[in-house]
Structure 1
Amino acid sequence: MSTTADDGAPLGLMPGQEVPFDDRGLAYGDGVFETVLVRNGFPVLWDYHLARLARGAEVLGFPAPRQADLERPLAKAPKGLAVLKLMVTRGSGGRGYLAPDPPKPRLRWQLLPFAPTPNRWWEGVRVRHCRLRLGIQPVLAGIKHLNRLENVLARREWQDPDTAEGLLCDSEGRLVEATGMNLFWQRGGRLETPRLDHCGVAGTLREALKGRVALHEVAVGPEVLNDAEALWLGNSVQGLWPVTRLDDPDGRAQHRWSLGPPHRWLQAEAQALLGYPVPEVRDH
């Protein structure tokens, strides 16, 4: 079933738009989701999204939808860029926390036009550390499950529009991710990213980059960023943002970077994966 939003933008939902009160995704966050960049009807990094959704469903213990059902919304995709959000819940049933057996998963989707923020590619972004600490749960580490309350609370820590993102550590002080993006840095000429075996989301852009560059997964605290030659945030919708300023949780500057070749080489790899323009390399 398809419909149109109030502003005329295309909007898609699977048949049965209403989510039942007893849907376990609504009640407990019992489900997974994917947010996919769609370019002229083609889902970018699609195999990575399918793999993560399948892994998430396996971890939670219900069958993933058929690929044909996941691809059905693409027939509604407009020309240009759009974002497809897929949500799969365990469905309804069970008693309290006891899951239904067998489960009857419920798929919903939404498809909306999208425009990235190219100034953040070229000019870089300001980010800050968050006070909130992520809980450790290795069973859920890496998957994109529907319970994202930690991210919601962390995002409430700032309202300044000049701050693009917040960096999160786990309860033991290890760097994990940003509220909605993965984290990368170059230190001593080596490209590093947080290890995600305790918590955090293994982004599809992060997974794709691992196949193109030597990306070392490390368990470290935030102090290592003081020694970084370059710092980036990235996901499969927005691309890769170089960081020019890192603040503490009170908004005071901790570190600054000037954009130059060290920032642009990884950005070029990421932008190519997503079909985005590659910022010109300039030595400032």
Structure 2
Amino acid sequence: MRLLNGLPQDHISMADRAFQFGDGVFRTMRCTGGAIEFWARHYTRLQQDCAALGIVCPSEAILLEDLRCLTPIDAALKIIITRGETARGYVAPDQLAPNRIVQLAALPAYPEKLHQEGVKVRVCSTQASWQPALAGVKHLNRLENVLARREWSDPSIFEGLMLDRDGLVIEGVMSNVLVLCDSVLSTPKLEQSGVSGVMCEVVFDAAMQHGWRVEKRAWTLDEIKKADAVWLTNSLMGLLPVAELCDQYFSPNAAQPLLSAAVNQLRQKEKFAIVAVPDMTEG
């Protein structure tokens, strides 16, 4: 189910700049029990990404009303903001009216086994492009990720890492990367490319609240392969340990349950209820 500017709609104009140029931004969120996880963080990032592209971000009240109309209980929610509709050509009027799309889908399944035993990861030949003006922004032009994901069909491989032109690890095709080394939790710097994910921020905050040292730094693939533990994260998968990377194997790390518990504490604290779910234990 999806809404376009608050109305049920399955079509969008071919003049929309998202269709023509990928000119827009998006956010994907997890909703459980009628509550959006980390809504305030997602909306803040949406505002920041819209500002980076010079798009007027819809108000929080408007987006929440749209989301309530979808009446999600346990679902994946996606918000797309496009610059709007224009004729051909890159130039766009300053006062162009943006389009907003909200849609609901089933939550993807991430079996508990993956959280306990970890996942297998490969390295992609498709590079993450260098573009500081878009670094961190979750924009609609995801062709690099599409090409990277086309590189494998082996179902045993869960994710692929993307490197930049200098051979530094940037992110996964659909995830951010976290590395534990010498008791420091870190994530690659995203100053030149990549997407800044909300869950990566959440994990950092959870770690700091429990006294962990955290940092953002440049990581080569060889350095990551020597780390104590590696995790993948996004808003739907949560926090998944890497068990195998380029024939390098990682044993379950004692930090995993501690970090997962800390993240879950924040998850419960930062849920935003949008649908009233009846208590089935009563009566």
Please classify the TM superposition score into its range, dividing by the shorter chain length: 0.7 to 0.9
Decide which of 133, 136, 143 is 2:137's aligned counterpart.
Answer: 143
Deviations 1:183-242 (A, max 9, x none): 001111211110111111110011222323232100121111122111100111111101
Q: Which runs of 4+ in 1 moved over 6 A?
A: none
Q: Give me the whole-angstrom Cα distance separating, in 1, the residues matched to 2:223 and 2:266.
A: 28
Q: Which residue of 1 aligns with 2:275?
A: none
Q: Which residue of 2 aligns with 1:5?
A: none
TM-score (norm: length of structure 1):
0.86
Please give the residue correspondences for 1:222-233 in structure 2 after superposition, counting only pairs within 5 Å.
222-233=221-232
Partners of 2:229 and 2:253 within 8 A in 1? no
Change (3 A) 1:271 1:161: farther
Q: Which residue of 2 aligns with 1:197?
A: 191
Query: In the TM superposition, what is the alpha-carbon distance from 1:42 to its structure 2 partner?
Result: 1.4
Task: State the secondary structure of the residue aligned to 2:206.
Answer: coil
Query: In the TM superposition, what is the alpha-carbon distance from 1:95 to its structure 2 partner?
Result: 4.6
Q: Which residue of 1 aligns with 2:166?
A: 172
Task: State the secondary structure of the residue aligned to 1:88.
Answer: strand
TM-score (norm: length of structure 2):
0.87
Please give the residue correspondences for 1:1-284 in structure 2 after superposition, counting only pairs within 5 Å.
11-14=1-4, 15=7, 16-75=9-68, 76-79=70-73, 81-93=74-86, 95-117=88-110, 118-213=112-207, 214-247=213-246, 253=247, 255-274=248-267
Partners of 1:34 and 1:86 within 8 A in 2? yes
Deviations 1:74-116 (A, max 9, x none): 322343x211111110010255001123111000111123143
Task: State the secondary structure of the residue aligned to 1:52.
Answer: helix
Change (3 A) 1:166 1:188: same
Mark the runs of 5 or more structure 1 residues left unpaired by the alignment.
Answer: 1-10, 248-252, 276-284
Partners of 2:16 and 2:82 within 8 A in 1? yes
Q: Give me the whole-angstrom Cα distance separating, in 1, the residues matched to 2:165 and 2:108.
A: 35
Q: Give me the whole-angstrom Cα distance separating, in 2, the residues matched to 1:125 and 1:104.
A: 43
Q: In structure 2, give the amino acid aligned to 1:159.
A: S
Partners of 2:67 and 2:102 within 8 A in 1? no
* Number of residue pairs the alignment of both structures matches: 258
Partners of 2:26 and 2:78 within 8 A in 1? yes
Q: In structure 1, give the amino acid aligned to 2:64.
A: E
Q: Which residue of 2 aligns with 1:7?
A: none
Partners of 1:33 and 1:88 within 8 A in 2? yes
Q: Give me the whole-angstrom Cα distance separating, in 2, the residues matched to 1:83 and 1:173.
A: 33
Q: In structure 1, give the amino acid aligned to 2:30.
A: L
Query: In the TM superposition, what is the alpha-carbon distance from 1:175 to its structure 2 partner?
Result: 1.0
Q: In structure 2, give the amino acid aligned to 1:193.
A: T
Q: What is the percentage of aligned positions where both structures have the same residue?
A: 37
**Most deviating of 193-202 and 257-266:** 257-266
Q: In structure 1, give the amino acid aligned to 2:150.
A: R
Partners of 1:41 and 1:74 within 8 A in 2? no
Partners of 1:236 and 1:274 within 8 A in 2? no
Q: Which residue of 2 aligns with 1:250?
A: none
Partners of 1:182 and 1:206 within 8 A in 2? yes
